[in-house]
Amino acid sequence: MYLWTVQRKEVIETLIKIGEYYPDIEKSKGYSEMKLVYPTLLESFNVLNNSSSKGIIFGFYKINGGKIFETIEDLYNYLYNNQEVSAAFNFWNANSTILRIKVDDNINIMPMEFNDIIKLSMGKTKDIERISMLYNSINDFNADIYNIITYMNKGRSNPYTLFKSFIEGHYPYLKIENILGVYPNLDLQTSMKEHDIKLFNLSDESKKLKELICNH
């Protein structure tokens, strides 16, 4: 099994310098809403894996109800053809790089529908306006949240999820030996403007990491 993760320049530099990277919830630079959910996800991940990780990496795994992202082209095509999903992320820039990572089969990646995580954040922020747009009642929303948390704690994707997009997976670290590939990031803004998939060039740091992996 493997995941695809978008990582910023500082992470790439850490991998080059010491060969590994361990995320830390205290240093997270994620969205403000998503940061509210991060502790819940991390706690569940650690219970599932009997671990004490300080953070987790988020990665693309498969289309919900569809195929696994086998190749980088599969991922690019999904992101380009589902721009309402891609636009939810703020890491489509030249300073970020896509990594393909090999997953230890003994680690439960806690697969989750991306929109389920968004809904958890809505619960944390008590966003009544958004909740009322998506659900007939607060009871319906609470029932959905119950299913999300139940299956998250089981380490299984929620079969009752509403508003399907893609399944994301979670992982406790990056190491040179578990990186299978280094790929240019999607230039989402230009892709939308030109109606075709456009990519940023690999940075010098990413090229160096790619060389390290090839020589490992």
Q: Write out pLDDT tens, residues 29-51.
A: 655 567 789 999 999 999 999 99
Q: Looking at the predicted structure, is the pLDDT value of residue 83 above 80?
A: yes
Q: Which two tokens stand for residue 206?
A: 């990413």
pLDDT computed for residue 26 by the predictor: 80
Mean pLDDT over 133-159 rounds to 92
pTM above 0.75, yes or no: yes
27 secondary structure, DSSP code = G
Of 214 and 97, more confident: 97
CA neighbor of 47 nearest in space, from 118, 147, 152 = 152
Whole-number Cα distances in Å, 120 to 36, 90, 144: 9, 19, 10
> In the predicted model, what is the mean pLDDT of residues 169-185?
96
75 Cβ contact partners less than 8 Å away, ≥ 6 residues apart = 4, 60, 69, 98
Q: Decide if pLDDT at 123 tops 90.
A: no
CB atoms within 10 A of CB 211: 12
Q: How far is the C-alpha of 216 from the C-alpha of 212, rounded, in Å?
A: 6
Residue in 190, 2, 192 with CA at minimum distance from that of residue 82: 192
pLDDT category, 214, cuts 50, 70, 90? confident
Nearest to 25 by CA among 66, 1, 54: 54
Q: What is the CA radius of gyration of the chain?
A: 17
Q: What is the pLDDT of residue 31?
A: 56
55-72 as b/e, with b when 16 or more CB fall inside 10 Å? bbbbbbbbbbeeeebeeb
pLDDT given at position 89: 87
> Which pLDDT score, from 0 to 100, does residue 29 have?
63
The confidence score (pLDDT) of residue 173 equals: 97
Work out the percent of the chain whose per-residue pLDDT is above 70. Answer: 97
Report, as an integer, the average pLDDT of 64-92.
92
Mean pLDDT score of the chain: 92
DSSP 3-state of 8: strand
Confidence of residue 110 (pLDDT cuts 50, 70, 90): very high
Average pLDDT for residues 211-215, to the nearest whole number?
88
pLDDT (average), residues 120-138: 85
Task: Please count the CA atoms within 13 angstroms of the CA of 12 that sit on its side-chain side.
Answer: 27
Q: Write the single-letter amino acid at 213.
A: I
What pLDDT shows up at residue 205?
95
Separation of alpha carbons 85 and 115, rounded Å? 9
